[in-house]
Amino acid sequence: MTFYERFEQVIALALSAIIAVIIVVSLLQLISIVFSLLIIDAFNPLDHKVFQTVFGMIMTLLIAMEFKHSIVRVALRRDSIIESRR
């Protein structure tokens, strides 16, 4: 494994760890917000603003998890992050 490939793998693993922390914090924040909405009976799925906020937070978490999965796949398979076609 060349120096650049090793460097690329270390960076990919570091980014993966950072994204994992962000995902956990975001998930805890989402649970807190949904729980507080349920407790104060403000959770009305028919309300456009509430639905958009909750659904947006869920989609953001799903996108972040897919992004982390892509980075881990690159780090484990030792594929190059930057690929060019001939």
- Nearest-10 crossing angle of helices 48-77, 3-39: 160
pTM of the predicted model as reported, rounded to 2 decimal places? 0.73
**DSSP track, 8-59:** HHHHHHHHHHHHHHHHHHHHHHHHHHHHHHHHTT---TTSHHHHHHHHHHHH
Q: What percent of the chain is modeled with pLDDT above 90?
A: 35
Residue whose tokens read 């793998």: 9
Could you tell me if 20 and 72 are in contact, meaning their C-beta atoms sit under 8 angstroms apart? no
pLDDT beyond 60 at 78: no
The full set of domain ranges for the chain reads 3-77
Look at residue 12 in the predicted model and tell me its pLDDT.
Answer: 87
Look at residue 84 in the predicted model and tell me its pLDDT.
Answer: 66
pLDDT beyond 80 at 30: yes
Alpha-carbon span 55 to 65, nearest angstrom: 15
pLDDT beyond 90 at 61: yes
The tokens for 67 are: 């992004």
CA atoms within 13 A on the CB side of 44: 6
- Of 11-15, 42-46, 56-60, 62-66, the poorest mean pLDDT is in 42-46
